[in-house]
A and B are shown apart, each in its own frame.
With several copies, the nearest count.
Chain A
Amino acid sequence: MRYIPLTDQEKQEMLEEIGVESVDELFEDIPSRMLLKEPLPLPAALSEAELIRHFQELAAKNVDLSQTVSFLGGGAYDHLIPSIIKHIAGRGEYLTAYTPYQAEISQGVLQSIFEFQGLIAELTGMEAANASIYDGATALAEAALMACAVTGRKKVLLPATLHPEWKEVAELYLKSQDLAVEYIPYDPRKGTLDPAALEKTEWSQFAGAVVQQPNFFGLLEEAAPVSQRIREQGGLFIMAVDAISLGLLKSPGELGADIAVGDGQSLGNTVSFGGPSLGFFATSGSKLIRRMPGRVVGETVDKEGRRGFVLTLQTREQHIRRERATSNICSNQALNAFISTIYLSVLGKKGFQDVAFQNLQKSNYFQQRLLEIGGLSLKFSAPSFREFVIRGDVDWEEMNLRLLEHGFIGGLPLKRFGFPQAALFAVTEARTKEEMDAFINVFRGLI
């Protein structure tokens, strides 16, 4: 078979060494009535050449972002990806390693995770970060759980403007532990959290309060009032931040956050139908740091005093604490975190700021062009970053199908999330003026 090196003669030698006649004997401890009598009904094995052809055919049934100009966002973004990334991340030593349990022959992975932690700490303005969590949504859920564990309180405040899918994940995680979720309502005109509501909240009941920045609608939230109130009342302030926006916007650290989480897809990872991405998780203060879920790498030395890196604080992990672990996460999103590490390194301090800057400029340009068309308006009035919601008497889902015929995909129709006449447009640095202008031309004709 394809990847099995053993020859028949070797098999024979090994069976003799074991002292059995056939491989079947090795399965004799399986109750025989359970044994499969028939081969599994799977398609016949494909050779490599056939396999490639088959996947090319499957791929051809999709319209990918290299064939279309898209303004979809909503948590997965089409950013420019430096070409160097795949050349590095494709090296077998990164791709085919396991979790670095044997530190002495895993310094490559360990040091890169240590660097990732430092990069995320820098981005978020927090003291420490872990080695990654599945995605932004689960990172937020873990943060909420951690807030409950740390404070002993049983309720968490989420923003009504949170990504709807993240809400679902957080609710599921929390409710399964009998923890309650309440929402801070939002101002439907501004599209951001309602300041009036903050006054009425009983902050002291909550383990933590969450703000998503920018929020699901791409709008900038006033995070400071929430931060101040929840912290004054002994809860944790949790920020779910868009990674790219941190090239421009106040960091969770600057806003007094106790925990910062977010999704790292936009940091060099392809959109890949929504996964794999990575969640990042950062916090401050040694008490909270020791309760972080997931893996952490720390610096140490060997006997000769040479610097080295190891998995550390593992008493938080399920390997050692089993049901008393801070989380059950084991495999995380290491390779995606590594990709983000390369991304942030090669973009660098200035380059990363440039990305945020161009996202702001281009989304503003496109917003203006859309509004010029007439019949469309901004659904919300708060300032936005990269994404904004357009309202118009348009069937946005139908519209996207028609746009597709011209090689375009418009914004994300918000009908599925309860706003039938609205669409969420994302504009990254990957969109050129030419593409945007061409979209406007076509769109004008279809609307």
Chain B
Amino acid sequence: MPKKKGVPLIFERSVPGRRGYRLPKLDVPEVPVDELIPAEHLREKPAELPEVSEVEVMRHYTQLSRLNHGVDVGFYPLGSCTMKYNPRVNEDVAALPGLSTIHPYQPESSVQGALELMYNLGQHLAEISGLAAATLQPAAGAHGELTGLLVIKAYHKQRGEEHRTEIIIPDSAHGTNPASVAMVGYDVVEVPSDERGGVDVEALKRAVGPKTAGLMLTNPNTLGLFDENICDITAMVRQAGGLLYYDGANANAILGIVRPGDMGFDIVHYNLHKTFSTPHGGGGPGSGPIVVTEELAPFLPGPVVAKEGDRFFFTQPEKSIGRVQAFYGNFSVLVKAYAYILSHGSAGLREVSEVAVLNANYMMRRLQDVYYLPYDRACKHEFVLSGKWQKQYGVRTLDIAKRLLDYGVHAPTVYFPLNVEEALMIEPTETEPKSAIDEFIEAMRQIAQEAKEDPEQLKKAPQLTPVGRLDEAKAARRPVLRWQKTE
């Protein structure tokens, strides 16, 4: 019986002398290379790139793609990641030559359309967040966090309050929050969650103080719960002289419903690749614009786009922290996010959040009898279950996740947030048809049944996938991180 073969590495397909793409013949007189470049600069050994033909490249990556899940393939309820449908028309407009092949250093007069787009997107994000000014430069959510924290730092420095070195973060926070705090040289002060899943206000009270530079919060938080004490929380931090940073990765729950600015936040980052539906691309590119209050606007990294009359131009904010990457941001991601906003309009964006929340609550209610629900209250766009009831059968959340793969869906986020044992974090988004949601519920229920009746089956999962459960420990112990030519 032949087994399904794996796909070889592209290097393993290489045959000496084989060619893929060829350039046009050189059309200028050729000069010997060593007349142009001293020999000491020249490479001794060419890079061992694969030697393959075009058809092999096409087949190789077509075959590989067929081993991969995607939103286009099926349900992808990965909590905190907002795996919604990525409209293809947005790819089309982003690929228009007038938007995809413009050079960042062209004269401003020759890129007025691009500047207009950036300007308008910044304005729209400001409206959506209830804040004043945006920078579109950060390349992803974590990059936005870094940028926001640098703004906080610059703000305190300017006020002579450099003793403020602590950022308060709840224990349910996404891992990038503390990591970003460390990146800017601040200290993390962690506060626990209370029994309703929100920030423990008493603990927060103890945590704030003269060293408080700010608070980073996701709201709804990574449990999918809206913090009912949000007014008290933001007030408390502000009173202590701290700034309020809103991690907008969960903004899909609140578009047009409540604005971070109105909750008392000073800085928001949006994950355009989540909330605004630009594709995740297997891990990027993203875009993590931040929006800030009027007061903080002068600190934004530059250049940002301004407008005078009909003319758009780049400008450097007065007290700018500098820049967080070369050029202006992940422009083509911005184009797609802008297209998404224009496709929805105000009522549409609100409906996005309403349906995202409706879908999550429906799923939560239909699963809570078979999986432990740690916080039994209305959730927002996502919710967290626990696999702890299944532990009695020796089944772990990882087994449940792997088993789901056999059902043709992606698993939820697992073991996160850290403050829920055996967590399963489920986010359906608004673009799932009810049939997909119901099928997922059915699969989850069946797996709960299997956990009782045939736990071994789950431990063997997945079995219908291109490879079985992979040995991660081995990978980490003796890392093989690349193909290597065997002589």
Stretch at the interface among B55-63, B201-209, B384-392, B442-450: B55-63
> In the assembled complex, which residues on chain A have CB atoms less than 8 Å from the CB atom of B182?
323-325, 328
Q: Is the CB of A109 within 8 A of B469?
A: no
Select which of A15, A52, A169, A314 is within 8 A of B358 by beta carbon: A15
| A289 with B53, Cβ < 8 A, contacts A8-B17, A275-B331 known | no
B96: nearest chain-A partner, CB-CB: A59
Interface status of A446 (Cβ within 8 A of chain B) = no
Task: Flag the segment in A160-168, A202-210, A229-237, A370-378 that touches B.
Answer: A160-168
Of all chain B residues, the one with the shortest Cβ separation from A304 is B468
Residues of B within 8 A of A361 (CB): 26, 28, 30-31, 36
User: How many residues belonging to B are interface residues under a CB distance threshold of 8 Å?
Assistant: 211
Instruction: Report Cα–Cα, A409/B468, bound state, in Å.
Output: 55
A433 to B25, CA, bound (A): 11
Q: Is B280 a contact partner of A19 (Cβ separation < 8 A)?
A: no
- List 27 A-B residue pairs with CB atoms under 8 Å apart, sorted by A's residue number: A1-B347, A2-B348, A4-B431, A9-B16, A14-B358, A29-B228, A43-B342, A45-B344, A56-B98, A92-B73, A98-B410, A108-B68, A134-B139, A169-B326, A250-B40, A270-B101, A270-B332, A273-B328, A290-B479, A298-B475, A306-B467, A308-B6, A322-B179, A325-B175, A325-B182, A333-B284, A360-B33
User: B271 to chain A: which residues have CB within 8 Å?
Assistant: 331
Q: Which residue of A lies closest to B411 (CB)?
A: A102
Contact of B81 (CB < 8 Å), options: A11, A98, A104: A98
Inter-chain contact B331/A274, CB cutoff 8 Å: yes
A207 and B150 alpha carbons, distance in the complex (Å):
23
Q: Is the CB of B351 closer than 8 A to any CB of chain A?
A: yes
Contacts of B278-323 to chain A: CB distance below 8 A: 279-287, 301, 321-323
Q: Assess the A98–B48 pair: CB atoms within 8 A.
A: no
The 0/1 profile, CB within 8 Å of A marked 1, for residues 17-44 of chain B is 1111111111111110100111011111
Are A3 and B53 touching (Cβ within 8 A)? yes
Question: Which residue on B lies nearest to A412, using beta carbons?
Answer: B105
B88 at interface (Cβ–Cβ under 8 A)? yes
Q: Are B346 and A14 in contact (CB under 8 A)?
A: no
Could you tell me if A178 and B231 are in contact, using CB atoms closer than 8 angstroms? no
Q: Does B195 contact A (CB under 8 A)?
A: no
From B60, B65, B110, B472, contact of A93 by CB (8 A) = B65
Task: Report if A327-B183 is in contact (Cβ < 8 Å); known contacts: A64-B97, A95-B72, A104-B468.
Answer: yes
Minimum CB–CB distance from A304 to chain B (whole Å) comes to 6
Contact B113 A358 (CB under 8 A): no
Q: Which B residues are CB-close (under 8 A) to A113? A: 282-283
Q: How far is the CA of A34 from the CA of B405 in the complex (A)?
A: 41
Central interface residue in A117, A165, A434, by most chain B CB within 10 Å: A165
**Contact assessment for B322 and A358 in the assembled complex, using a CB-CB cutoff below 8 Å:** no
Shortest Cβ-Cβ A-B pairs, 3 listed: A59-B98, A274-B327, A92-B72
> Which of B49, B105, B479 interacts with A345 by CB under 8 Å?
B49
The chain B residue sitting closest to A134, CB to CB, is B139
Give A264-303 as 1s and 0s: 1 = Cβ < 8 Å from B's Cβ atoms: 0000001111111110000000100110000111111111
Partner of B470, one of A34, A90, A302, A331: A302
B97–A59 CB distance below 8 A: yes
A132-190 interface with B by 8 A CB criterion:
132, 134-138, 163, 165-166, 168-169, 171-173, 176-178
B128 part of interface (Cβ distance < 8 Å): yes
Which residues of A have CB within 8 Å of B476? Answer: 298, 312-315
